Chain A
Amino acid sequence: AAGVIQSPRHLIKEKRETATLKCYPIPRHDTVYWYQQGPGQDPQFLISFYEKMQSDKGSIPDRFSAQQFSDYHSELNMSSLELGDSALYFCASSLGLAGVTDTQYFGPGTRLTVL
Chain B
Amino acid sequence: AQTVTQSQPEMSVQEAETVTLSCTYDTSESDYYLFWYKQPPSRQMILVIRQEAYKQQNATENRFSVNFQKAAKSFSLKISDSQLGDAAMYFCAYRSEGGANSKLTFGKGITLSVRP
Binding site for B on A (CB under 8 A): 31, 33, 35, 37, 41-45, 48, 50, 55-56, 58, 88, 90, 92, 94, 97-100, 102-106, 108-109, 111
Contact status B91-A42, CB under 8 Å = yes
CB distance from A39 to the nearest CB of B (A): 11
Q: Does B78 contact A (CB under 8 A)?
A: no
Contact status B105-A97, CB under 8 Å = no
Further pairs besides A48-B103, A104-B95: 18, Cβ < 8 Å: A42-B107, A43-B45, A44-B106, A45-B103, A45-B105, A56-B101, A88-B43, A90-B45, A92-B45, A98-B99, A102-B102, A103-B35, A105-B47, A106-B37, A106-B44, A106-B47, A108-B42, A108-B44
- Report the 8 A-B pairs with minimum CB-CB distance, sorted nearest first: A98-B98, A106-B45, A42-B106, A45-B103, A55-B100, A56-B100, A97-B102, A42-B108
Contacts of A37 in B (CB 8 A): 43
- Give the bracket for the number of chain B residues in contact with chain A: 20 to 34
Residue of A42, A44, A97 with most chain B CB atoms under a 10 A cut-off: A42
Main secondary structure of the interface of A (DSSP, over half): strand
Contact status B50-A43, CB under 8 Å = no
A45-B104, A58-B103 given as contacts; is B109 within 8 A of A99 (CB)?
A: no
Q: Does B52 contact A (CB under 8 A)?
A: yes
Contacts of A100 in B (CB 8 A): 50, 52
